[in-house]
Amino acid sequence: MPSLELIIGNKNYSSWSMRPWLAMKVMRVPFLETLVKLDVENHCDDLIEYSPSKKVPVLKHGTLTVWDSLAILEYLAEQNADKAFWPADSAKRARARSISNQMHAGFTDLRNECPMNMRRKPGTIDVCAGVKRDVAQIEALWRAALEISHGPFLFGDFSIADAMYAPIVNRLQVYKLTSDQTALAYCDTITALPAWKEWAASAHNEQWSIDHAEI
């Protein structure tokens, strides 16, 4: 069986890379990690050897290339049927897929104005009304899911849905965007994961930065 290789970007900034990396760590799926520095000049051209999209993350499995975070996570779920990447119950699975796709396609104001930054010292910034709407919607999604599942994760056990929202945890914390107690408790659940701590430690040890992501 060919080994898995996950190509990722800077751990301090690459929110899309974090999603499959975190899921693979939590689910104990072995893989080789290849990190591409995204601050170097012409990095998009450098990424063409890995993916036609010239973006990270990318999953290599033998001769197969899978790009886009959610596509990678879906592929991993199919290849690891013994691991609960999605909830077993069909209704829960449908809801988990719905909010995961909502994260994948939405919350653009929050993502654009508040880039993930694992090293950032927590502090507020001025944000537009769209960011506030995004945060309120995320808080509502989390409350609804946790009210049904009773936690600690969105659908009880860790799933792709939690991986998809993990970078939002960083944004809410470092830009101090929420005071919602359910959201804060959920953030604590995610940041307590050994996989999160491993990613964060690596991010803090990185020696390069991207100026436009330092808000």
The token pair that represents 202 in the structure block:
């690596």
Q: What is the DSSP string of 146-164?
A: HHHH-SSBTBBB--HHHHH
Mean pLDDT of 192-201: 98
In the sheet that holds 64-67, the strands lie side by side as: 32-35, 4-8, 58-61, 64-67
- 186 or 40: whose pLDDT is higher? 186
How far does Cα 84 stand from its chain's mean position?
17
Q: What is the DSSP letter of 212?
A: G
* pLDDT tens, position by position, 72-81: 999 999 999 9
Q: What pLDDT is recorded for position 42?
A: 43
Could you give the domains of the chain?
4-83+199-208 (3.40.30.10), 90-193 (1.20.1050.10)
For residue 48, the model assigns a pLDDT of 57
| Averaged pLDDT for residues 12-30 | 97
| pLDDT confidence of residue 205 | 96
Query: What is the separation of C-alpha 185 from the centre of its chain, rounded to a whole number of angstroms?
Result: 18
Give the Cα separation of 19 and 116 in Å (integer): 12
Mean pLDDT of the 167-194 span: 98
Quote the pLDDT of residue 22.
98
Q: How confident is the model at residue 39 (pLDDT cuts 50, 70, 90)?
A: low
Q: What is the pLDDT of residues 49-86, one digit of tens each?
A: 666 667 899 999 999 999 999 999 999 999 999 999 99
CA-atom Rg of the chain in angstroms: 17
The H-or-E segment that residue 35 falls in is strand 32-35
CB distance 208 to 20 below 8 Å: no
